[in-house]
Structure 1
Amino acid sequence: MQGEMYCWIVFLDRDPTEEEFTHVYGLMDTQGRERVRKMQAEQEPKEEQFRLMISRLLPMWMLRNRGVLRGSWVLGETRDGKPYVASPVLAPQLAFDVAYTNHAAGIVFAEVALTVPERIGMDVMQLVPTPPGPNIQPWIASCAHMLTPLERNMIHSQPDHVAFRRMTVVWTMKYAYIKALGIRPDKFNFQSIECDVPRGTVRVDGAPLFGWEFRLFKASVGSAARGEMKPEEYQIACALYHGPTAAQPKVSFGEEYLKMDQWIKFINVDGVMQFVKEMYKEDPAERKAKARAVAMPDVHGPGAMSNAVRFVQSQAGHTAAHR
Structure 2
Amino acid sequence: MSTDSILVWMLSLNREYSKAEYDQAYQLCKLCFPEERFRYEPTNPDTFRLLMTQLLPVLMMRHRRVPRSRWKDHQTPAGKHWIDVVRPNDNSGRSRPPSIGYQLTYQNSLCGMAVTQGTPVQVVNIGLGITQLKVEPKGTPVKVYLESLSHKLTQVEMANIVGNPDDLMLKRLCILLAMKEAYIKAIGQPIGFDFSRLEFDVPNRRVLADGSTLMGWEFRVFTTKLGVARGEVLKQEEYECVCAFFRGTQESTYIFQATPGELENWVQYINIDQLMAVASKLSA
The residue type equivalent to 1:250 in the other structure is T
CA deviations over 1:236-288 (Å, ceiling 9, x no partner) = 11101113xx24111111227844211010101111112313326x5xxxxxx
CA deviations over 1:93-146 (Å, ceiling 9, x no partner) = 211101111111010010133553621001111115775564422322222222
In structure 1, which of residues 136, 141, 146 is the aligned counterpart of residue 152 of structure 2? Answer: 146
In structure 2, which of residues 231, 235, 250 is the aligned counterpart of residue 230 of structure 1? Answer: 235
1:174 offset after TM fit, Å?
0.7
1:263 paired to 2:266:
yes
Residue 35 (structure 1) aligns with = 38
CA deviations over 1:146-203 (Å, ceiling 9, x no partner) = 22221121122333322211111111101100100001132x3433321112344323
Question: In 1, distance between residues paired with 2:16 and 2:202?
Answer: 36
Residue 8 (structure 1) aligns with = 9
Unaligned runs of 5+ in 1: 283-323
Aligned residues of 1:166 and 1:197 also touching (Cα < 8 A): no
Normalized against structure 1, the TM-score is what? Answer: 0.74
The residue type equivalent to 1:176 in the other structure is A
Residue 129 (structure 2) aligns with = 123
The residue type equivalent to 1:62 in the other structure is M
> Which runs of structure 1 show a deviation greater than 6 angstroms over 4 or more consecutive aligned residues?
none
Normalized against structure 2, the TM-score is what? Answer: 0.84
Residue 178 (structure 1) aligns with = 184
1:165 paired to 2:171:
yes
Aligned residues of 2:220 and 2:254 also touching (Cα < 8 A): yes
- Change in 2 beyond 3 A, CA 1:69/1:180: same
Question: In 2, distance between residues paired with 1:227 and 1:47?
Answer: 17
Secondary structure in structure 2 of the residue aligned to 1:27:
helix
In structure 1, which of residues 212, 215, 219 is the aligned counterpart of residue 220 of structure 2? Answer: 215
- Change in 2 beyond 3 A, CA 1:123/1:88: farther
Aligned residues of 2:59 and 2:282 also touching (Cα < 8 A): no
Question: In 2, distance between residues paired with 1:31 and 1:138?
Answer: 45
Residue 18 (structure 2) aligns with = 17
How do 1:56-95 residues align onto structure 2 when only pairs under 5 Å count? Answer: 56-85=54-83, 91-95=97-101
Greater mean alpha carbon deviation, residues 62-71 or residues 258-267: 62-71
1:77 offset after TM fit, Å?
4.5
Secondary structure in structure 1 of the residue aligned to 2:50:
helix
1:239 paired to 2:244:
yes
Question: In 1, distance between residues paired with 2:58 and 2:213?
Answer: 35
Aligned residues of 2:85 and 2:99 also touching (Cα < 8 A): no
Q: Which has the higher helix share?
A: 1
Secondary structure in structure 1 of the residue aligned to 2:133:
strand
Question: In 2, distance between residues paired with 1:56 and 1:117?
Answer: 18
Aligned residues of 2:216 and 2:251 also touching (Cα < 8 A): yes
How do 1:40-51 residues align onto structure 2 when only pairs under 5 Å count? Answer: 40=41, 45-51=43-49
Secondary structure in structure 2 of the residue aligned to 1:235:
strand
Aligned residues of 1:75 and 1:87 also touching (Cα < 8 A): no
1:273 paired to 2:273:
no
1:233 offset after TM fit, Å?
0.9
- Identity over aligned pairs, percent: 29
Residue 253 (structure 2) aligns with = 250
In structure 1, which of residues 191, 204, 210 is the aligned counterpart of residue 209 of structure 2? Answer: 204
Aligned residues of 2:81 and 2:124 also touching (Cα < 8 A): no
Unaligned runs of 5+ in 2: 88-95
